[in-house]
Every structure is written in structure tokens, then in C-alpha cells.
Copies of this chain bind each other. A is one copy, B any other.
Amino acid sequence: MLQPGQPKFRRRKADRPDEIVAAALEVFSERGFAAARLDDIAARAGVSKGAIYLYFATKEDIFRAVVEQAVAPNLEGLQAMATLAPSFTELARFFAANVSRTLADSPVGGVARMVIAEAGNFPELARIWHDRLVAPALAAMTAAIAAGQARGELRPGDPRQYAVSMIAPLLLGVLWRETFVPVGAEPFDIPALAEQHIETLLRGMRLEQTA
């Protein structure tokens, strides 16, 4: 399709939607849905405002694409975690090491903030995030905990609540970074936080003290 005489740097049409979504992620992330302006998204994507409408029917559609697109990459880590599971201890340590790194580096924190912010206006997006990412992750963790309990590795107790206990500090770390660090708050070292948290929690969850 690409003519030989064409400039090398001409962007391919196929890339446009992704570029727009990437630009939109930035702008939505900074301003929120309603305060984000199509002009800004267009400018940041390096296209005209009209061009956006060649790929997306409405501003809401762009938002949907941004949120949905942030779901996919995180599912893989989830799968990985679910398959491997010799002991809960190992799973928890894998979680602390790998998930915390992913969270710290990916834009998922910004998207999570957007989902939280716009849940009232876009319930279907909250539902997508819940059904496709959050609930499965929580369910996988819950199942692993229940298995650990059945196996006699872990103390009794509500496994879903244990799952929340494990995950929550990571969420807090990410939201902290998005919300308070920009106004001068001391940031958290998310991987370090995750490691200390998980080790402490493991001590509290396991039946025998065999660290």
C-alpha cells in the first residue's frame, strides 16, 4: 500500500486510532472525562479534531476505548498468576514482586482513577472493569486463598476479605501517586510497600510459622 515515493515518516492510517487513544488517555487522566477537550486530545494526538470522528463516533466512545484498552494487558499477568500456584506463599510473593511492578509502571493507575471518578456517569465502564478485570482478579486471589485454607496452609477466615487485605495497599499506593504526590505528598516505593505488606500478611495468615 505504501508508495515508494512517499515520505518515510508518514503515519500509517492503521496507527491513528491507537495514537488517539493514547493521547486521550493522557488528557482524560489529567482532567477527567467532562473537563477533557477534544481539541486537546486532537492536538496531543497530532491530528485534526475532525479526524477523530473518522475513528470514534463520540467523545464517550473514545473514553470507552481508553478504559477498555487498559483492561487487556493486565489480564495476562492475571492468567499467569492463576496457572502457577504451588503454594499460596509463592503466589503471594510473585504477586508482590510482579504485580506491584506492573502497577507502578503502567498507566493503569490513571485509568483506575478515571474509572473511580466516572463510575456514576459511565456505569457500563465500571461494570466492564469490574467484570473483566477486578472481579476475576479478586476471584482468582480468593480461590487461591481458599485452596490454601483447604490445604491447611492458611488460617480460616473469609477468603474474599483476605484477598482485599492483600490487594488494597497496592491500590492505595497507585491512587496516592495519582492524587497526592502531584501536590507535594511523599510518594511510596510501591514494590517495597508491597513486599513488606505481603510478608507481614503472610505471617498473619499462615498456620505454621515457617517463613
Task: Please give the residue numbers on chain A whose beta carbons come within 8 Å of chain B beta carbons, in ascending order.
Answer: 29-35, 113, 115-121, 123-124, 126-127, 129-130, 134-135, 155, 157-158, 160-162, 164-165, 167-169, 171-173, 175, 178-180, 182-186, 188, 192-193, 196-197, 199-205
Contacts and interface: CB of A to CB of B under 8 A. Distances in A.
A158 B192 CA distance: 9
Nearest to A35: B34
Contacts of A167: 172
B180 A126 contact: yes
Contact of A135 (B29, B118, B160, B185): B185
Contact of A113 (B30, B116, B158, B160): B116
A196 B184 CA distance: 33
Given A35-B121, A168-B171, A162 B204 contact: no
Copy number in this complex? Answer: 4
A186 B94 CA distance: 27
A183 B135 CA distance: 12
Given A32-B32, A171-B172, A172-B172, A178 B121 contact: no
22 contacts: A32-B117, A32-B118, A33-B34, A33-B35, A35-B121, A124-B183, A126-B180, A127-B184, A134-B180, A157-B196, A158-B196, A161-B188, A161-B192, A165-B169, A168-B171, A199-B204, A200-B204, A200-B205, A201-B201, A201-B204, A202-B204, A203-B203
